[in-house]
Chains A and B, each alone.
Chain A
Amino acid sequence: MARRGTSGFRVYRYVNRVLGHAVLMLVALLFLLPFYWMLSSAFKEPGHIFAAPPQWIPSPWHPSNFRDVLDLANVDFIRSFVNSLFISVSHCGLVLFLCSLAGFAFAKYRDAPGRQSLFVFVLGTMMIPGSVLIIPIYVMMVKLGGIDTYWAMIVPGAANAFGIYWMREYIGENVHDDLLEAARIDGCSELGIYWHVVLPVIRPALAALGVFTFIFAWNNLMGSLILLHTKEMYTLPLVIYLLNGDSSIPYGIVMAASLLATAPLILAFLFFQRDFVEGMTSGALKA
């Protein structure tokens, strides 16, 4: 093994770095390949997606796939996009409100009787996987007339034990008691403290939980399959699933629809990624 400072070590180090960069670049390209393939396929003519040899750059350029997505007979793409957006944003807002408010209560009202046991109880239910909830929620929605409604997609998952745990941890560490006391002395109401003192401090955690929740809601295929049965209510994952099952629709159009469904998510992620990745790491490692 070469020693520090000798030319042998410098060569060794140099080779190491070049190798490291090469590996990372290769893996990065492999990771991006499916995205690129989606992008390029969305601009290909019907016959060219499976051309031999494979077509890396669409030729001829065929952007009308995107117009055709909007003109499909059996799905209303724009309506579905709006449905997905409305459901995801509302669900996200509800989760953030419920979890931050309850997380604040659990973190800061230390004197309230029953605080510990209620919290342990919430955590305990986290051990039970979502798979046992699906049938009861479906049955409940049938009984309550929730099939084909927005609220059936927005409300049930909003009482999120993981979110409340996360918010309690974050508020416990980052919102200082003297800040709350100072606000109380200034005559701020408890709800006012939540709104004016707690929420601004926990913005990074809200962003992280928000993106996490939004992505989850936006990609929710199983919920849509079970709860949404009419064309007007379809969400994007359901539309893409249905387009794919219809063999009369060229793949280029399906890929254009997929691209339109993926792009907002990637943009949201790029915008909030620092909070998101950090939030995900801290949440996961503590759990």
Chain B
Amino acid sequence: MSAPRPDGRRYAERIRRNWHFYLFISPFFVLFTAFALYPIVFSFLLSFTEWDGFVPIKWVGLDNLRLAAHDEAFWNSLWNTLVICVLYIPPMLVAAFLLAALLNASWLKFRSLYRTVFFLPVITPMVAIALVFGLLYDTERGLLNATLAAIEEAVPWLGLRPLPWLTSETWSKPSIAILLIWRWAGYGMVLMLAGLQGIPRTYYESARIDGAGAWSRVWHITLPLMRPVFVFCAITSLIGTIYAFDEIFMLTYGGPGRSSTNFGLYLFNTSFDDFRFGYASCLAYGVAAVVFVASLFILRFRRSDWN
């Protein structure tokens, strides 16, 4: 629609005629201003200050950035986040794709039952399920190690043995990655299933006529067309892991030591254990900015790739 230059009277007239529009969006905007806009601005300003919530706010300029550069615990939390991502996202994507491909098979029975089962972890309270994982992972008496010990006894040459899942710095990150895979594979599966169903059957049929085998059809048709879904899942999982809280807070509390503290947990501890509101706001904004720029970059890359 070509908007004519708003000469005052007609513009006012249009506003008056559409007063319902402003009425209907106003409840949303009142809350939005109070609980989203104002906090966004407030915490942006806070990130240039030093404040514990009680004493007068002290303006420190860019000092918080300088602090962050030398904050070993902060960089450690980013490193842990990265390691957890590497351990969790690729296997999760592969599992989600395989499950989606199986569920998409025409011969499958009980499709919706399987879909429900795989999706169930997405909706369960993390608090409750993390505790169950804690029981399963228990080093001395957990089900997982009991099973591994039994396997070791039965088939020693497999090399499986009980592991200190939550009690060692080496295994705390894989333990969390396994929990994350379990939790999110079903979500990825649902997205990929929708993606698979969006690929026209004729593509496969003409490929078959041209003599393409099953693998070649997957490689040359399915995977390229599914790329946007993979990219979307990977980005959301990455962001999700940066800010993941419940899983880690309940399962390991970031330990042993700091070995499984991700950025989300570090931010929470900086805010509400140490009450360093200014510094925490600076970290939150800094990481958000990096994530934002990185996502834009990836999405842009993806678009140019399409055309």
Contact = CB atoms under 8 A, between A and B. Distances in A.
Interface of A: 1, 17, 20-21, 23-24, 27-28, 30-35, 37-38, 41, 49-50, 52-54, 97-99, 101-102, 104-106, 109-113, 115, 118, 122, 125, 127-140, 142, 155-159, 161, 164, 190-191, 194, 215, 218-219, 221-222, 225-226, 236-237, 240-241, 244, 251, 254-255, 258-259, 261-262, 265-266, 269-270, 273, 277, 280-282, 284-285
B33 to A, nearest CB: 8
B128 A258 contact: yes
B234 interface: no
B235 to A, nearest CB: 11
Chain A facing B: main interface SS: helix
B243 interface: yes
Q: Which 5 A-B pairs have the closest CB atoms?
A: A136-B39, A258-B128, A50-B141, A112-B18, A105-B24
B24 A128 contact: no
B14 A221 contact: no
Contact of B116 (A20, A104, A110, A270): A270
Choose among A20, A218, A261 the residue with the greatest number of B CB atoms under 10 Å from its CB: A20
A156 B99 CA distance: 38
B35 interface: yes
Interface stretch (B62-70, B73-81, B217-225, B267-275): B267-275
28 contacts: A34-B132, A35-B120, A37-B132, A41-B135, A50-B142, A52-B146, A101-B25, A101-B27, A109-B20, A113-B11, A125-B32, A128-B288, A129-B239, A129-B288, A135-B271, A136-B43, A190-B24, A218-B125, A221-B249, A240-B131, A241-B250, A258-B127, A258-B131, A265-B123, A265-B124, A266-B123, A277-B119, A284-B232
B53 A102 contact: no
Given A105-B24, A237-B125, A261-B128, A24 B141 contact: no
Contacts of B53: 139, 142
Contacts of B132: 34-35, 37-38, 41, 255, 258
Nearest to B35: A156
A173 B119 CA distance: 27
A245 to B, nearest CB: 10
A226 to B, nearest CB: 6
Interface string B96-138: 0011001101011000001111111101111111011111101
Contacts of A255: 131-132, 135
A110 to B, nearest CB: 8
B194 A159 contact: no
Nearest to A282: B194
B284 A131 contact: yes
- Chain B, interface size category, equals 35 or more
A127 B285 CA distance: 12
B150 to A, nearest CB: 8
B43 A50 contact: no
B146 A53 contact: yes
Contacts of B271: 134-135, 138
A208 B113 CA distance: 19
Contacts of B285: 132
Contacts of B124: 35, 262, 265-266
A56 to B, nearest CB: 9
B42 A136 contact: yes
B108 A20 contact: yes
